[in-house]
Homo-oligomer: A and B are copies of this chain.
Amino acid sequence: MTKKLINHPDRVVEDMLAGFLLAHSDVARQSELDPRAIVRRNLHPDKVGIVIGGGSGHEPAFIGYLGDGGVDGVAVGNIFASPSPYPVLAAIKETDQGQGVLLIYGNYSGDCMNFSMAVELAEMEGHQLREIVVHDDVASAPRGHEEERRGIAGEILIYKVAGVKAKQGATLDEVYQTTEKANQWIRSVGVGLHPGSLPQTGKPNFELADDEMELGMGVHGEPGIQRTKMVSAREVARQLVTMICDDFDYSGAEVAVMLNGLGATSLLELYIVYADVVKELQKRRVRVYKSFLGEYITSQEMAGCSLTVLKLDDELKHLIDVHSDMACAHF
């Protein structure tokens, strides 16, 4: 059992939000419409709203991405569970400034159901909405079934693209089109080395032998595609890059790369893997334009990492280069 710094198993999310709101009172506030909707202060007037959401336990995802050049509203679920439709609806109402709202969420059945229900309710109230469902995890369904795939760390770069595009005054359709382009051009895959644990119970959310790793594992410990003996950083990098480049043709392209730590994997290890990722990409004539290393979406103290690759054109390069000033992320 993992020791956790909590006060009460039933109040984990509420206590976390209390601390978040104290630490980031300049950026974020709790919606008066629903306590599980956290929204940005000082919304840019006339801007398209960006609303995201998902389960808790993945911090800094998702509340950490509220801010300038980031997102405007976040619906907060229980640990590893989708938010209900009501905080999504509240976030839409709070952030729609007459230009409509783009909703972005990962492809999980609960999120799809609850965001869709919120969309129905909000459209009845006259809100203009578009939706982007992120499904970047190549390990979760084969080619030809891309829309069945789960959303993982690619979501973070998708928020960045949408957030900056909206900040620059684009219309809802324009923000949707650019963001959906990025969504088509992004691929991720993860590797799990050690489980995280549920903060309420301290119990691990999957099991893995002491000398094993699992390629393709999801951010909640969803089964991957191959469980093998632990290999070197170089071999992990080769496997991750191969899976991604076998799935989408990045050859000759400039790309953004995110190497995301899942919780317990040190930044030291991420840098070691990253050097090999760059080499593997170079072998395939893929040029890294910009890279992001760190913990962007975690699974408590899960060990392992995920690699994300996003093909860039001039528009996406420009959007990725604009600095975003979000609650827990500045990139």
- A12 CB-CB contact with B under 8 Å: yes
For residue A227, CB closer than 8 A to chain B, the reply is no
| A194: chain B residues within 8 A (beta carbon) | 2-3
In the bound assembly, the distance between CA atoms of A272 and B59 in angstroms comes to 12
Any B CB within 8 A of the CB of A264: yes
A272 to B22, CA, bound (A): 11
Question: Across the interface, which residues of B come within 8 angstroms of A274, CB to CB?
Answer: 19, 22-23
A window 314-331: CB within 8 A of B:
328, 330-331
User: Assuming A193-B3, A234-B7, A295-B295, is B210 touching A268 (CB within 8 A)?
Assistant: no
User: Which B residue sits closest to A331, measured CB to CB?
Assistant: B330
Give the number of residues in A that approach B within 8 Å (Cβ atoms): 61
A248 vs chain B, min Cβ distance (A): 22
Q: A5-B270, A16-B268, A330-B330 are in contact. List 19 more A-B contacts (CB 8 A).
A: A2-B303, A3-B230, A4-B269, A7-B233, A7-B234, A12-B268, A15-B233, A15-B272, A19-B270, A19-B293, A22-B278, A23-B291, A57-B266, A59-B266, A59-B267, A263-B264, A266-B300, A267-B295, A294-B328
